[in-house]
Structure formats: C-alpha cells, structure tokens
C-alpha cells in the first residue's frame, strides 16, 4: 500500500466546527431566516408569520408558519396533492398549480380566522399586480414570503404561488419584478402574459406545438392529460373551475387513512454482537470448507 499522506489529521477534526444541522443538510438559509423571524422587541409576543413555499419533485407545499423557541408552529398548510379534490388532477407542480395552491392556502387561513368575507381578494385572476386594501374593521393578514434556497428568477413558480396568495386576500409585501411576464427592457409587468401563465397557457401552447410537430412525444409527455381527455383549449376553463371550487370550500380535509402501527424500515437493522460473531464464524467455516475441498481436489489431481 503506497504511503498516502493523511490530508485530514487528528488536529483538523479536533478544531473543525460543524455548521448548524439544517445548514449541513442544505435545507435552511440562516441568513434569511434570522431576518424573517426577527420581531421588534416592543411588539413582544406578536407572532410574525412567514408564507413558506417549497417545491418537491411531485408536490408543492405552502404553509403559514410562526417561529417559537420550542419549534416553528404551522398555522395553516396547503399541498398541491389536495388539488384533485377541486378538480385538478394533472400538472400538479406547474405555475398554474402553484397559483392554485397559494390561493387555497390564503382562503383557508382567512376562513380559519373568520376574515374570508371581508377580504375577498381578486376574484377574477387578471395577472395584474394586486394588493389587498385594508377595510375599516380589521387589518389584512400579513405574512412574509419565504422562498427557501430557490434562485429567485423572473417567472419562478414560487411567485406563482405568491400571486395566488395575494389574489386570495393575504397581505404580502412584494413587487411585480419577478412575476412571469415582467420584461426587463420595459420594466413593466405584462399582465396578459402573466394571466396566460396563471391559466396554464404556456403548457397549452407547448401541447399544441407538440401535437403538430412531434405527435409521439406529445403522446408520451402528456399521456396523463390525454387519458383524462384534457385538450389545450380546455385548460383555461379547467383552471377557472378549480379557482371557483377553491373559493367555495377551502377547508382542510383530514385523510381517512390511519397511521401504520409499525413503521416500515428503510435501512438495515444493526446486528447485535452475537449476531456479528455468528456471521464471522459462518464465514470462516465456509472458507475452511472450500479450502478443504480445494486441497482434496489438488490431492486427487496429483494422484
């Protein structure tokens, strides 16, 4: 074995300072978190809510969270996998679905706090920049957008979710610079383009293009859409219905499934000392038996 100079000596490990656990896992941006959570001291225990949007490969998670020393408390949550309940079964992670999820969360929170009559928000989604107007009786529900570790480029789906929440009636400080349809040259938001994205227009135009140019790819790519008979022209109507259904009944439905009594094991169980010794003995026996057989064969060959 060639002598390899150890790069990481014992001294290195003794002096190494680990980052915070969630930073090591790459899940939390502490610089942003400190600034989002910090509440003015002269507001004492008034909670400061963050509108958290996270995307997984197949789902969208939107939550309203307030921080506490024991752990963050979730006031309300909405998931994209709840959208089938409102009539949207495919395309659960696109811009339009993000809009629906944000809208669902906003209506849910307002209903929970009994503010939903006061703050209707923007019932007809036009794509224009809309901010809630405070009414006389109560101030609107305020939350701060928490994107996590996502790169905030123009047209990102987190801003689709943000638009959904704004139209739902939440007060979230924002600017229209990062909505889909904002052109850097004009420095203006093109409401028409944004509206197209909110109603899945970009998906519809891709569907039309594929249908004409590459029908096989269209069949594989949009198989679920085809299975449910969704045409590119139906998209807008479909999303309009989903928005209306969300506004009609945003309450959360607990799933009827019971949690499994015994948790499924995802990694191997560690062996006990006896089991490891037994394994070693078995391995040695097998090795000896094979060596014995080889020795017998050699003897036979020699003879």
Partner 1 sequence: MPAGHGVRSRTRDLFSRPFRKKGYIPLTTYLRTYKIGDYVDIKVNGAVHKGMPHKFYHGRTGRVWNVTKRAIGVEINKQVGNRIIRKRIHVRVEHVQPSRCTEDLRLRKKKNDQLKAEAKARGEIISTKRQPEGPKPGFMVEGATLETVTPIPYDVVNDLKGGY
User: Under the rule (CB under 8 A), what is the footprint of partner 1?
Assistant: 15-17, 19-20, 30-31, 33-34, 37-42, 44-45, 67-69
Alpha-carbon distance of 116 to 137, in angstroms, equals: 13
* Closest by CA position to 119, among listed 171, 66, 77: 171
Nearer to partner 1 by Cβ, of 40 and 124: the residue is 40
Asked whether 129 and 176 are in contact (CB, 8 A), the reply is yes
First and final C-alpha spacing in the chain: 40
For the record, the structure tokens of 107 come out as: 């209506």
Nearer to partner 1 by Cβ, of 69 and 253: the residue is 69
Q: Give phi and psi for 144, each to the nearest 5.
A: -115, 135
CB of residue 233 vs partner 1: minimum separation in angstroms? Answer: 50
Nearer to partner 1 by Cβ, of 1 and 34: the residue is 34
User: 173, exposed or middle or buried, with CB in 10 Å at 0-12, 13-18, 19+?
Assistant: exposed
CB of residue 98 vs partner 1: minimum separation in angstroms? Answer: 28
Nearer to partner 1 by Cβ, of 45 and 175: the residue is 45
Nearer to partner 1 by Cβ, of 42 and 272: the residue is 42
Asked whether 104 and 77 are in contact (CB, 8 A), the reply is no
Q: Give phi and psi for 171, each to the nearest 5.
A: -100, 100
Nearer to partner 1 by Cβ, of 34 and 268: the residue is 34
CB atoms within 10 A of CB 179: 25
Alpha-carbon distance of 214 to 222, in angstroms, equals: 12
Alpha-carbon distance of 142 to 137, in angstroms, equals: 15
CB of residue 21 vs partner 1: minimum separation in angstroms? Answer: 11
CB of residue 26 vs partner 1: minimum separation in angstroms? Answer: 15
CB of residue 41 vs partner 1: minimum separation in angstroms? Answer: 5
CB of residue 34 vs partner 1: minimum separation in angstroms? Answer: 6
Alpha-carbon distance of 155 to 162, in angstroms, equals: 11
Q: DSSP letter at 171?
A: B
* 48 three-class SS: coil
CB of residue 71 vs partner 1: minimum separation in angstroms? Answer: 11
Give the neighbor-by-neighbor strand order of the sheet with 144-146: 73-79, 60-66, 49-55, 144-146
CB of residue 48 vs partner 1: minimum separation in angstroms? Answer: 10
- Sequence-separated contacts (24+) of 219-228 with Cβ below 8 Å: 224/89, 224/90, 225/90, 225/91, 228/89, 228/90
Nearer to partner 1 by Cβ, of 39 and 93: the residue is 39
Nearer to partner 1 by Cβ, of 3 and 44: the residue is 44
């Amino acid at each position: 074995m060639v002598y390899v100079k150890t790069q990481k000596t014992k001294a290195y490990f003794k002096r190494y300072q680990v980052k915070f656990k969630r930073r090591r896992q790459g899940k939390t941006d502490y610089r942003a978190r400190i600034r989002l959570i910090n509440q003015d001291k002269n507001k004492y225990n008034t909670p400061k809510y963050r509108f958290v949007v996270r995307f997984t490969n197949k789902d969208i998670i939107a939550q309203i969270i307030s921080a506490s020393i024991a752990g963050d408390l979730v006031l309300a949550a909405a998931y994209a996998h709840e959208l089938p309940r409102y009539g949207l079964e495919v395309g659960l992670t696109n811009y339009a679905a993000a809009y629906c999820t944000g809208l669902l969360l906003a209506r849910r929170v307002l209903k929970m706090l009994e503010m939903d009559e006061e703050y209707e928000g923007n019932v007809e989604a036009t794509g224009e920049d809309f901010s809630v107007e405070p009414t006389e009786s109560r101030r609107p529900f305020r939350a701060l957008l928490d994107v996590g570790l996502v790169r905030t480029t123009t047209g990102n789906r987190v801003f689709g979710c943000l638009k959904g929440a704004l139209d739902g009636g939440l007060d979230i400080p924002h600017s229209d610079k990062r909505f889909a349809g904002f052109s850097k040259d004009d420095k203006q938001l093109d409401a028409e383009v944004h509206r197209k994205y909110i109603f899945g227009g970009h998906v519809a135009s891709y569907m039309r293009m594929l249908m004409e140019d590459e029908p096989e790819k269209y069949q594989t790519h949009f198989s679920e859409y085809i299975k449910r008979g969704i045409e590119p022209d139906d998209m807008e109507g479909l999303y309009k219905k989903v928005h209306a259904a969300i506004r009609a009944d945003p309450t959360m439905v607990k799933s009827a499934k019971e949690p499994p009594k015994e948790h499924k094991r995802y990694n191997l169980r560690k062996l006990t000392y006896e089991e490891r010794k037994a394994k070693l003995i078995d391995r040695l026996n097998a090795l000896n038996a094979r060596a014995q057989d080889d020795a017998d064969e050699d003897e036979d060959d020699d003879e």
